[in-house]
Structure 1
Amino acid sequence: MDDGPQLLRRLISADIRGYLLKVAEALSISQIAIRSAITQATVECHLSTVLAGLCR
């Protein structure tokens, strides 16, 4: 199991940082998808993965 610092490093190395920054800007899923040139479903999947990891 990852502790906080290890999990954070993994997320950053997986380029999830961009998602987290967009969420921190209070962008909607739709806005994140448009800015990232991906589908809303992909954004939802990635964010669900990140949030599940943070809640461990």
Structure 2
Amino acid sequence: MAKPLPKLLTQRQEAHKLISWLQNLQIRFEGWKDKRAVNKAVKSARRKPPVQY
């Protein structure tokens, strides 16, 4: 669990906006990483030749 932010930061409106923006950026970055991993897996699966039995 993350530590709570200092009261000094959370009492200011500008700080709330900055924190919200950073959290949004973090969420978008995680989504980008997930999408990138999926695309790489799909691309890798397409390259492999089908299994011959």
Q: Which has the larger radius of gyration?
A: 2
TM-score > 0.5 by shorter chain: no
More relative contact order, 1 or 2 (CA 8 Å, 6+ apart): 1
